[in-house]
Structure 1
Amino acid sequence: MEYRKLTESEIVELQNQGCVASNWDSISVHRQFNTAYIRHVNFSGDIKLGIYEKEFTLPGGIKKHSGIKNVTLHNCEIGNNTFISDVNNYIANYKIGDNVFIHNLELMYVDHESSFGNGIEVTVLNETGGREVIIHDKLSASFAYIMSFYRHRPALIHKMQEIVKLYTQQNTSNIGTVGNNVKIINTGTIKNVRIRDYATIESTCHLENGTINSNEYDPVHIGYNVMAKDFIISSGSHVEDGTMLTRCFIGQACQLGHTYSASDSLFFSNCQGENGEACAIFAGPYTVTHHKSTLLISGMYSFMNAGSGSNQSNHMYKLGPIHQGVMERGGKTASDSYILWPAKIGAFSLVMGRHYRNSDTSKMPFSYLIEHDDETVLVPGVNLRSVGTIRDAQKFPKRDKRKDPHKMDQINFNLLSPYTVQKMFQGIEVLNELLSTCGEASVHYTYRGCRIKGSSLRSGLKYYDIAITKFLGNSIISRLSNCPCTSDEEIREYLKPDSSAGLDKWRDLAGLLAPSTEIDKLIEDIESGRLTCIEDINAVFEKLHKDYYSLEWTWAWDKIQEYFNLSPDTITAKDIITIVEKWKEAVVKLDWMIYEDARKEFSLPTHTSFGMDGNKKDQKIDFEQVRGIFEKNAFVEAVLEHIKVKSKLGEDTIERLSKCL
């Protein structure tokens, strides 16, 4: 933009309109500048002004012409068609973009140099330190996971810290920015805050040392009475209604409100926090807590739903709050649940009651942990048949509210994956070892702070076998979907993996599922200096996510050979038909279990409190009017349809393979 100095006549006009300046020569203006809408402004320092020709239409139909009035500006650049009015104190050291609307602001300034929240250390998981994550604009859940959990690789952590420190230096300035099309209305103090395009800050109390990474595709909204210090807020997030944040990173499309309170915590994509509080938590994608009495502390969570009154303890009143816990993806806590850290809860498990035994059920995914007589009772695999588990798996992708074309977190939504299925293999091994060691006649078995009933152990083996068969069958059917299946040799060629990557163990990096070998390569590249910037590291995460199904097949094909005792050199269409038949049986059996679990929601006890003032007939009619009829429930219909579709898929696959027989 071309600027010029004020003319003598313009200076006189501005003075007549109540404007003063410490030095009129320090003011530069757009070459088409007009003084008409500049009134009662106190200028000091270096000032640049645009042109003000546009009108803003406010809710209710009121119109405000762009311009500047009733404000003190110091070292500021104001863009075109911006409205600034009624700033009680001043605005200092800010570059403000085009089409910005600022009204009734208390104070906005940058004091000395600031990195705007970049470079802040968040003492996540351990309040006393040791797992600090340095937050920054481009922080992804996977990057934070490695920085926090890989402290056994000090060279790696040092390199990552240096990379973030360099990025922080590059984003340090003594001038703040307010992007284009920003609205700041009825707000208190904004100190050392970088505000990007299309953000709305409305009736906010206090913002200090942070960045609001809003954009045109996914604006950020900061609402009533919010107080935040040392923070990064990513695109699409809404922080509302008295929320208080201290040293926090808020990922994309998060929703925090209803007086939620958080300190030293990380919230990644699509997290929701209302009413309760968080301290030193690593909230991976889809961590949800809605209840006033719920405290999440010193834990790592993802795809998690915290029930009312959920609580954890991170110290034993000895050396302070030094303990941490992990709830692997898909965990749930029932109302009034409690876990004494340290503990590790397996994927897609439900925790009910109060647990004091420092349990580790990471090898027992899809389980219930139930309190009974002050003991933790473990029910392995039972959550595989739960209608709630399937509903969760279906709803997570639908509830991805990120509209930003650049997704910071790489999120895999699959319920069954190499990560969870490898845990089932481990679970089967553990359960069989318990049977072998303690005998099949035992009524109870003890495992890592938990008690397992004999009947639950045998049921767990059955559930895991069904789920493994379903996953491996899904994989081989998908792999052969485009194969003509004219000969065994052709089938064997289609079954060959794309690469050897994907074998051995898999890891869950806070939403990203990837083979350990590929993560280790990434770590070595960081340690050796081959990867030296945040963008390149995040690009590796993106590629691993993009290549998931190819990598998954490498792992699944290896397990298919092991589980069904087959060889890649001799496998035939007949062998695959046997697998598909077992798959079809497993899918249908699991779906019927889910169907029967859903039926419980329509059983006679659930009719209680319906038909308030009528008889039993009225109760039934009232229930059906509110809840519907079981057979016509949308989810139930979907389960029945799934049985039909998968049965036909199995039959079609068998028919295609039969050509080779």
Structure 2
Amino acid sequence: IHQGIMERGSKTTSDSYVLWPARIGPYTLVMGRHYKNMDTSSLPFSYLIESNDESILVPGINLRSVGTIRDAQKWPLRDRRKDPEKLDQVNFNLLSPYTIRKMFEGRELLRKLKSVSGPVSGSYSYNNMVIRGNSLERGIQMYQTGINKFLGNSLIKRLEKTEFTSNSELQKRLKPDHTMGKGEWVDLAGLIAPVKAVNKLLDDIENGVISTVGGVAEAFIRMHDSYYKWEWTWACERIEQEEGKPVKEFTAADIIRITERWKKSVIDLDKMLYEDARKEFTLSSMTGFGIDGGEEIKKLDFEQVRGAFESNGVVSAIQDHIGQKDALGNELIERMSRIKS
């Protein structure tokens, strides 16, 4: 039996082929025909492209694809369940401890490949795939950008709507309320949860603490409802690792520095998405329009069907997002600036 896994958010293009067994990491786009077994699970948000019978991996590039954002927006909208009590607990978050952990893995993996093969290598081999040198460098940068964005999001959420008069108050707020959330997270058919929480559920079933299907369903609901509380526990641990010190030693200056880094990552990523969206409005994209006229008719026909670039919903959302996040970051920086050392 040949079995393969396409993790959440992954897609295949027309006429694509993947030889099983294989594992494709989250939010990866597979193009072409791939005749070797491969595993990209530690390199999420990638393109897997076939060229001259070679499998070319472009790590992290899907983070800047407007198609990825469009998918993330449409999946929740397609959830037409009306009952307030959902039987399936589905987390639609694009960035989560599950995907960000893989970005950490991907960043370290690419750094290791670079270290082993040398920084000037033109290409790198990994799991029957080829990673070009420039793609590796860009992949490290893209994963770092995604990591900065997620950790900054979690930090800002943790500190929102709270005034602090001292660093000790700040440190107290930064301390997680729960121990659950540390370590690895998994995707249980849409439910994103810590492995420890899943193992506890299994232990409770084996020990008879939970003995009914309803009890299992309630446990899944509790996991889903606890996501954001547990997310901060995980994010806090990662922030400490990135900063090289525990949050009990953080000061307002640390928060300002992390927030500035977050702002840059968010805005840089949004600008990349904006430029990617522009590609959908180039002359080549209009080729199939205006069957009975010249260039002007073609352009008008295209705009009637697809709309103008400036008024496109995704483009407008990106522009609004840049302004909102910039203001959000500035507000936190201003609050931190009022804390006396």
Whole-Å separation in 2 of the counterparts to 1:548 and 1:611: 49
Match for 2:299 among 612, 617, 620? 620
1:430 is the counterpart of 2:99: no
Quick one: which of 125, 138, 143 aligns to 1:464? 143
TM-score (norm 1): 0.51
Whole-angstrom distance in 1 between the partners of 2:290 and 2:74: 31
Within a 5 Å distance, the mapping from 1:288-367 to structure 2 comes to 322-367=1-46
**Cα distance in structure 2, aligned partners of 1:333 and 1:346:** 12
How much has 1:535 moved relative to structure 2?
1.0
Structure 2 residue 197 is the aligned partner of structure 1 residue 512 = no
Higher helix proportion, which one? 2
Q: Secondary structure of 2:261's match?
A: helix
Match of 2:221 among 542, 546, 554: 542
Q: How much has 1:323 moved relative to structure 2? A: 1.6
Q: What is the one-letter code of the residue matched to 2:104?
A: F
Aligned counterpart for 1:552 among listed residues 228, 231, 234: 231
Select which of 312, 329, 335 maps to 1:650. Answer: 329
Contiguous gaps of at least 5 residues in structure 1: 1-321
Give the TM-score of the pair, scaled to structure 2. Answer: 0.97
SS of 1:631's equivalent? coil
* Structure-2 residue corresponding to 1:583: 262
> Conserved in 2, the CA contact under 8 Å of 1:512 and 1:545?
yes
Residue 99 (structure 2) aligns with: 420
Give the aligned residue type for 1:522.
Answer: L
1:385-419 alpha-carbon deviations (Å, 9 max, x no partner):
00010111111111111123331111011100000
User: For residues 134 and 149 of structure 2, what CA distance do their matches in structure 1 show?
Assistant: 23
Q: Which letter does structure 2 place at the counterpart of 1:394?
A: Q
1:634 CA drift (Å): 1.4
Any conservation in 2 of the 1:483–1:491 contact (CA below 8 Å)? Answer: no
Q: Taking every aligned residue pair, what percent have the same amino acid on both sides?
A: 54
Q: For residue 498 of structure 1, what is the amino acid of its counterpart?
A: D
Aligned-partner residue type, residue 582 of structure 1: R
Q: Equivalents in 1 of 2:290, 2:209: separation in Å?
A: 69
> How much is the aligned-residue C-alpha RMSD, in angstroms?
1.1
Please, which runs of 5 or more residues in structure 2 have no aligned partner? none
Matched with 1:592 is 271
Partner residue of 1:566 out of 215, 230, 245: 245
1:506 and 1:570 map into 2 onto residues whose CA distance is: 27
Aligned with 1:533 (options 191, 195, 212): 212
| Counterparts of 2:288 and 2:101, CA distance in 1 | 44
Determine if contact 1:329/1:347 at 8 Å carries over to the other structure.
yes
Does the 8 Å contact 2:56/2:130 carry over to 1? yes
Q: Distance in 1 between matches of 2:304 and 2:247?
A: 56
Distance in structure 1 (CA, Å) of the matches to 2:305 and 2:183 = 50
Q: Counterpart amino acid of 2:79?
A: D
Report the counterpart of residue 48 of structure 2 in structure 1. 369
Report if the CA contact (8 A) 1:483-1:494 is conserved: no
1:485 aligns with 2:175: no
1:630 aligns with 2:305: no
**Amino acid in structure 1 at the alignment position of 2:88:** D
More strand by share: 1
Distance in 2, matches of 1:460 and 1:616, equals: 38
CA distance in 2, matches of 1:637, 1:405: 31
Matched, 1:640 2:323: no
Distance 1:539 1:610 in 2: 52
1:167-219 CA deviation, whole Å, 9 max, x = no partner?
xxxxxxxxxxxxxxxxxxxxxxxxxxxxxxxxxxxxxxxxxxxxxxxxxxxxx
For 2:318 and 2:178, the matched residues in 1 are separated by: 36
Q: Deviation digits for residues 534-582 of structure 1, max 9, x if unmatched?
A: 1111111110100000000000000001112232221001100000000
CA distance in 2 between counterparts of 1:375 and 1:468 reads 30
Which structure carries more relative contact order (alpha carbon 8 Å, separation 6+)? 2
User: Matched residue of 1:569: which SS?
Assistant: helix
1:502–1:551: 8 Å Cα contact kept in structure 2?
Answer: yes
Q: Is this contact kept in 1: 2:176–2:232, CA < 8 A? A: yes
Judge conservation of contact 2:167–2:252 (CA < 8 Å) in 1. Answer: yes
Matched AA of 1:497:
P
1:649 deviation in Å? 0.5
* Residue 60 of structure 2, aligned match among 381, 396, 417: 381
State which structure, 1 or 2, has the greater radius of gyration over its C-alpha atoms. Answer: 1
Partner SS state of residue 310, structure 2: helix
Aligned residues: 340
Q: Distance in 2 between matches of 1:392 and 1:612?
A: 30
